[in-house]
Structure 1
Amino acid sequence: MSRYTIALILIFVLAACKNKKDSKQQQTIKPYPVIVIKTQHAVIYSDYPATIQGLQNIEIRPKIDGYVEAIYTDEGATVKKGQLLFRINAPQYEQNVNTAKANIKIAVADVNAAQMQVNKVKPLVDKDIVSAYELEAAVYTLQSKQAALAQAQAALINAQTNLSYTTIYSPANGVVGVLPYKIGSLIGSTTANPLTTVSNISQIYAYFSINEKQGLDFFLSSKGATMQEKLTTLPPVTLVLANGVILPKKGRVETASGLINPQTGALNMRATFDNPDGLVRSGSSALVRIPRTLDNALLVPQKATYQIQGKLFVYVVDANNKVKSVDIGSNASAAGQSFVVQQGIKTGDKIIVDGISNLKEDQLINPRMVNADSVYNSL
């Protein structure tokens, strides 16, 4: 075999080995789904911790001293305005009413007697049988007795008012709180704790705070000349309960305090929600979720991100199909499972949207282009 033939064989063998090596290397480059970032309409949400209070939280306190004779409700019961709640055993007030009624009868008799004396003296004065002084004295006596009668009638009204305090009625529709005093307990107007609390929770107030910067951004982006006008133009807000359930009825932000707390730098706000089923009770905790609309937002799917020390990163694919991690600086979530980009990437950049857990910096990938709309619509 000639040298020329041997050389040709070696060339073919080397070429075959190289092609096999290149093919093997090509097979080791994994494919990844990639989308092209573009601007789009988005709604982002900000959540604020809130405490819940009912429309009314009325403490039921006794106005007189006595013993709890009867309790006509129970803890957690729903009551109507005017419904009987408690009866207090205080017999002295009933006796005061009886005494006042007796005093009125005495005063009426005194008035009648004084009137008879005036009627008796008047014709005698007209006939000059007695002096006018006698009639004047009789009239003064009558006026004194009439005043005593008025005083006795006022005493009866006061006694009846005090007696009415022995029965306590609900001042509003609502839900009964705890009952710290049981039947037989001695209570009075100076008792530390109320008999109970009636909470009207047909509507609820959610109190929450935002910091000074958030407050400025919040209101500068809202329409209206005055603070109240800006509040009325805000979109409806959502209440997220402690178990993650969303209250079916949306509410509105109605008030913002006029002062920023100098210790915390917080601005206190209040949102109002309808609560017809009484699902939410006073004292509950929740989140007030406020939406904000962005017309030209850059969104990345949540599954395309990973987090390091509180920062969000995505993998961007460069022109050589190598990946690079980029901090997108996002702290706001949009509707669905996506984040709004604050920095790091721009329109037209390519990012990997799935399977990023095993990627490394500068890794070479085989990009598989995916329609961005289909990715966002599936979220």
Structure 2
Amino acid sequence: MTFNIFSFSQWVLLSLVILTGSVLVSCQDQDAAGKARQEAAVREYPVIALETRDVKHLNKYPATIEGVENIGIRAKVDGYIKSIYVDEGEFVRKGAPLFQLETQALSQNANAAESNIQVAEAGFNAAQVEVDRLKPLVEKGIISDVQLKTAEANLASAKSRVAQAKSQFQGVKENIGYTRIQSPVDGVVGRIPFRQGTLVGRSEAQPLTYVSNIKEVYVYFALNEKDFLNFTSELEGKTLQEKIDSMPPVQFIMANGKTYPHKGKIQTISGQIDPRTGTINFRALFPNPEYILRDGGSGTIAIPTIYEDALVVPLQSTYEMQGRKFVYRVIGEDSLQSQPLDYYAVVDNKVLVADGVRKDDVILAAGVGNVQNGSKIIPKREDFSNYMDNITPVFK
């Protein structure tokens, strides 16, 4: 029997040939897998070309309501409440009766004052008779004129007493008129803390009630110093009054969340910043023909800020790093480049850009968390308007 026996060197050579072939096959497989992974990593992403929009943003501030006239009703004379003619919340016209105070004591005073007039007039008449009697005697030289002058002085004094008595009577009559308390304006009656039989008077600290003229109402709100400076710096005009005049109409959001149907106008800004709160007060005037708004109510004032021709970036197309906002701008056909943004404000999930990108720049619209600077993508163009659903258009 014959055996083919390989030498040791031949066995080594054969092993090397087999090992080299295996390595080559393995490398080819790895290259193919890596290429496949790379191709799989390049995914399709939506991209948009940036556009400009006119954007209106509503800045909202807590507010309180006061009637244009909010008048405390007080008694001018002391007396017991005899009648209450109105109810709380009732609308009344100017001159309508509100309260009636008892007049018995004042009526007695009036009778006494009237009697005093009669007494004074009787004294005046007697003094006049005396003067008339003495005049002929003096003219004939029967008596000296001293007696006549004395009589004339008594007549003048009697005349003064008549005038004084009439004045006192008139004052009592006016006080009797004050017992019927009337509304000084058209308005709504407030809370009435007093009841029939209660003694009230001029020294009473608490008003009998309030009557609020709410055909128009004041709405008060406050801005902090920073917001105030930013707000006024954007307004037209050199003086503060010119800036106030150029302010756009404002909206009022009622306590139930509904928007009040009539717009108001800012009228005044307080002259100083409150050192306790760091805020400055504004006052707006609103028409209130349906009497929906009531004195003492609350709500929210909404002031529009208009950004004309603003470059807008969807908030979902941005990411934050170290306190700054960034977007991925598409470079060439498929590369992403991280780009920082400077912006004015974020309005309804839209970033109003000041610098960093320009109109018509193409950016990654969505999926910013799945890529990084330098990533390759397959860009899919989408309509910019699809990402502007929450933008409020400005109608001019």
User: What is the TM-score when the length of structure 2 is the normalising length?
Assistant: 0.78
Q: Which residue of 2 aligns with 1:237?
A: 250
Question: How far apart are 1:136 and its partner, in Å?
Answer: 1.0
Quick one: which of 238, 242, 256 aligns to 2:269? 256
CA distance in 2 between partners of 1:316 and 1:137 (Å): 113
Q: Which residue of 1 aligns with 2:297?
A: 284
- Encode CA deviations 1:353-375: one digit per residue, 9 max, x unaligned: 67x7x965649876542222454
Question: How far apart are 1:87 and its partner, in Å?
Answer: 0.7
**Are the counterparts in 2 of residues 82 and 170 from structure 1 also a CA contact under 8 Å?**
yes
Q: Which amino acid aligns with 1:92?
A: A
CA distance in 2 between partners of 1:367 and 1:58 (Å): 69
CA distance in 2 between partners of 1:276 and 1:108 (Å): 56
CA distance in 2 between partners of 1:242 and 1:321 (Å): 51
Is 1:148 aligned to residue 161 of structure 2? yes
Q: Which residue of 2 aligns with 1:4?
A: none
Q: Which residue of 1 aligns with 2:16?
A: none
CA distance in 1 between partners of 2:164 and 2:108 (Å): 18
CA distance in 1 between partners of 2:298 and 2:379 (Å): 46
Quick one: which of 325, 343, 347 aligns to 1:333? 347
Task: Evaluate the alpha carbon distance shift between residue 225 and residue 324 of structure 1 in structure 2; reply closer, same or farther with a 3 A threshold.
Answer: closer
Q: Which residue of 2 aligns with 1:99?
A: 112
Is 1:51 aligned to residue 77 of structure 2? no
What is the SS of the residue equivalent to 1:213? helix
Task: Evaluate the alpha carbon distance shift between residue 332 and residue 279 of structure 1 in structure 2; reply closer, same or farther with a 3 A threshold.
Answer: farther
Question: How far apart are 1:174 and its partner, in Å?
Answer: 0.9
Question: After superposition, where does 1:165-184 map in structure 2 within 5 Å?
Answer: 165-184=178-197
Task: Evaluate the alpha carbon distance shift between residue 313 and residue 83 of structure 1 in structure 2; reply closer, same or farther with a 3 A threshold.
Answer: farther
Sequence identity percentage: 37
Question: How far apart are 1:324 and its partner, in Å?
Answer: 7.7
Is 1:37 aligned to residue 37 of structure 2? no
Task: Evaluate the alpha carbon distance shift between residue 76 and residue 121 of structure 1 in structure 2; reply closer, same or farther with a 3 A threshold.
Answer: same
Q: Which residue of 2 aligns with 1:197?
A: 210
Question: How far apart are 1:22 and its partner, in Å?
Answer: 7.6
Question: How far apart are 1:253 and its partner, in Å?
Answer: 1.3
Question: After superposition, where does 1:318-357 map in structure 2 within 5 Å?
Answer: 318=330, 320=334, 331-333=345-347, 338-341=350-353, 347-350=359-362
Is 1:376 aligned to residue 396 of structure 2? no
- Encode CA deviations 1:137-171: one digit per residue, 9 max, x unaligned: 11111111110011111111211122122111001
Q: Which residue of 2 aligns with 1:297?
A: 310
Give the root-mean-square deviation of aligned CA atoms.
Answer: 3.7
**Are the counterparts in 1 of residues 222 and 281 from structure 2 also a CA contact under 8 Å?**
yes
**Are the counterparts in 2 of residues 49 and 208 from structure 1 also a CA contact under 8 Å?**
yes
Question: How far apart are 1:352 and its partner, in Å?
Answer: 6.1
What is the SS of the residue equivalent to 2:75? coil
Task: Evaluate the alpha carbon distance shift between residue 69 and residue 206 of structure 1 in structure 2; reply closer, same or farther with a 3 A threshold.
Answer: same
Quick one: which of 64, 68, 76 aligns to 1:63? 76
CA distance in 2 between partners of 1:340 and 1:71 (Å): 60
Is 1:137 aligned to residue 136 of structure 2? no
Higher mean C-alpha displacement, 264-273 vs 292-301? 292-301
Task: Evaluate the alpha carbon distance shift between residue 97 and residue 352 of structure 1 in structure 2; reply closer, same or farther with a 3 A threshold.
Answer: farther
Question: How far apart are 1:80 and its partner, in Å?
Answer: 0.9
Question: How far apart are 1:100 and its partner, in Å?
Answer: 1.0
What is the SS of the residue equivalent to 2:94? coil
What is the SS of the residue equivalent to 1:193? coil
Higher mean C-alpha displacement, 143-152 vs 213-222? 213-222
Question: How far apart are 1:323 and its partner, in Å?
Answer: 10
How many pairs align? 362
User: What is the TM-score when the length of structure 1 is the normalising length?
Assistant: 0.81
**Are the counterparts in 2 of residues 46 and 332 from structure 1 also a CA contact under 8 Å?**
no
Question: How far apart are 1:122 and its partner, in Å?
Answer: 1.1
Q: Quick check: which has more Rg, 1 or 2?
A: 2
**Are the counterparts in 2 of residues 81 and 171 from structure 1 also a CA contact under 8 Å?**
yes
What is the SS of the residue equivalent to 2:62? strand
- Encode CA deviations 1:189-223: one digit per residue, 9 max, x unaligned: 22232111111111111111222222222223322
Task: Evaluate the alpha carbon distance shift between residue 345 and residue 182 of structure 1 in structure 2; reply closer, same or farther with a 3 A threshold.
Answer: farther
**Are the counterparts in 1 of residues 341 and 353 from structure 2 also a CA contact under 8 Å?**
no
- Encode CA deviations 1:109-149: one digit per residue, 9 max, x unaligned: 21112111111111121122222122111111111111001
Question: After superposition, where does 1:352-371 map in structure 2 within 5 Å?
Answer: 360=370, 362=372, 367-371=379-383
Task: Evaluate the alpha carbon distance shift between residue 331 and residue 223 of structure 1 in structure 2; reply closer, same or farther with a 3 A threshold.
Answer: closer
CA distance in 1 between partners of 2:346 and 2:247 (Å): 18
Q: Which residue of 1 aligns with 2:13?
A: none
Q: Which residue of 2 aligns with 1:85?
A: 98
Task: Evaluate the alpha carbon distance shift between residue 218 and residue 60 of structure 1 in structure 2; reply closer, same or farther with a 3 A threshold.
Answer: same
Could you list the runs of 5+ residues in structure 2 that have no partner in the other structure? 1-24, 392-396
Task: Evaluate the alpha carbon distance shift between residue 72 and residue 317 of structure 1 in structure 2; reply closer, same or farther with a 3 A threshold.
Answer: same
What is the SS of the residue equivalent to 2:174? helix
